[in-house]
Amino acid sequence: MAVTQLPPMALAAAPGDGGATQGILRRQALRESAARTYARVLPIVPVRARGMTVEGADGRRYLDCLSGAGALALGHNHPVVLDAIRAVLDSEAPLQVLDLATPVKDAFTDELFATLPPGLASRARVQFCGPAGTDAVEAALKLVRTATGRDGLLAFSGAYHGMTAGALVASGGAPADGVMAAGVAAAGVTRLPFPYDYRCPFGVGGERGAELAAHWAEKLLDDPKGGALHPAGMILEPVQGEGGVIPAPDGWLRRMREITAAHSIPLIADEVQTGVGRTGAFWAVGHSGVEPDVMVLSKAIGGGLPLAVVVYREDLDVWPPGAHAGTFRGNQLAMAAGAATLAHVRQNNLAERAATVGGRMLERLRGFAAGRPQIGDVRGRGLMIGVELVAPEAGFAAGAGVAPTGAGPVANPDHEASPGGTTPYEISPYEASRYEASPGGGAPYEASPGGAAPGGTAPCADAVRTAAPPAAPVLAAAVQQECLRRGLIVELGGRHGAVIRLLPPLTITDEQTEAVLDRLTDALDASIRTAGTHSRELPPTAAPFASPSTGDHR
């Protein structure tokens, strides 16, 4: 994952604030670590917040589509969260109890189990971890290695699982300048291709690309010389967040469940960012009906306060006492806030509302993208939305980036073609529109040797797909700053920091939804007009900006 160098935003005091904002920001820059991220591109000093609105020390107000990197399912200072916290404080209950049992912890566990996939909930165990998602990832990896007696791990390109050693190894990119954390190597991790329609690793995209990715994983595990014989587990995100908001196709996710079950490999679902209604289902695995063996949960489950857990099948619960511990795994305020959040989302059908509002946002953004080639792709699930920006004219000579006529669906000769027969996937009209037929016309992709193309379409050996244009990280940075000037906070992500990410709270109103879309589309148009996308090169004076993998801060 490449690191992007982006120009800093000038720090200017707003009229009437007496320079207080500028002074605070300057002191932060002088005293805080060079590893800080958001502060480099969002030079604001929040002093008040409610719901989706954040007010800075200079009096400016912003609509927050960052939501604490997805941790604030109900937005800032929601009444049910504040009431739950006040109740614990007023009760004089202990605030920190290690892993002792308390009524607050018992209530949180009840609420959590009520939301889990039924098959898992009926036979689940929960491990309370240190208060960050990355520690829960570490616990999950330790758990499956202990339970299976094996050491290897299957992980995916584009993944992000956290900033500690094991989580970094499982992630698809390094945090800074292409260098892994000191002493950390990727030994024992086998990297698999993640279905990415817009930039398909097989050069075909759509459901066909997902089928090939599943076939790759299956054949690798069946191959005694494949280098991944019988790993301890497979870890994946149902929607890759930091990787660029890339939803896993439901059919592909079901195939991963089938493949791991057939090989007795525990399947770990990292739902740190996708959970608690974010994607339009309470847990993102619910879209596919998949029940993983292990679920890694954090962010929104604490109601905005630090909390992380691992939930897993009871037969995996074989590690000894103290195998995974942490002083702050007994955070009572976070458990109270988390129980209140889980209950509010469940009782008020906020996951369903996220699906409805997110669908409306995607529809409008896709309509806006038409005729604007700088907007390469608009994708997402629920209120987890990504807009990938590209430089459409950069590096494309006549015919460059297009599969040669007559080529099969696999552009890379090192990849193995899918087995003969009809594909189990269907292609949607949206995906079909992304394919470009050769002069002879025909189906969107070549049929496999033993069968017809999806839906009975006649085979076409000449189907081609244009390659996606290069990413435009400078344009994305410009859009982020134009959004900020319009009072909208957005996140960047993706392989090259070229994806505008929206993570609004599930409580976003219809009026706020329209305001977000108006400000974002205005910012996009302004950036396209003024910044342009003629160069992918960054200015030599640009200040360092964090890799997308560092934005999540688990």
Residue 96's DSSP bridge partners are 331
pLDDT above 90 covers a percentage of the chain that reads 72
SS3 512: helix
pLDDT per residue over 326-343, tens digit each?
A: 999 999 999 999 999 999
- pLDDT given at position 5: 35
pLDDT per residue over 358-390, tens digit each?
A: 999 999 999 999 999 999 999 999 999 999 999
Measured CA angle at 69 (ends 68, 74), to 5 deg: 55
The pTM is what? 0.83
Helices 206-222 & 250-262 angle (0-180, nearest 10): 10
CB neighbours of residue 406 within 10 Å: 12
Q: Which residue in the block uniquely carries the two structure tokens 């935003």? A: 9
Task: Report how far residue 551's alpha carbon sits from residue 64's, in angstroms, rounded to the nearest whole number.
Answer: 15
If pLDDT is split at 50, 70 and 90, which confidence band does 411 have?
A: very low
Strand (E) positions, 172-318?
189-192, 233-236, 239-240, 246-247, 267-270, 294-297, 309-313
Task: Report how far residue 315's alpha carbon sits from residue 438's, in angstroms, rounded to the nearest whole number.
Answer: 53
If pLDDT is split at 50, 70 and 90, which confidence band does 401 have?
A: very low
**For the chain, what is the mean pLDDT?**
82
Give residue 475's region: left, alpha or beta (phi > 0; psi -120 to 50): alpha
Helix H segments across 225-371? 250-262, 332-347, 350-369
- pLDDT given at position 294: 98
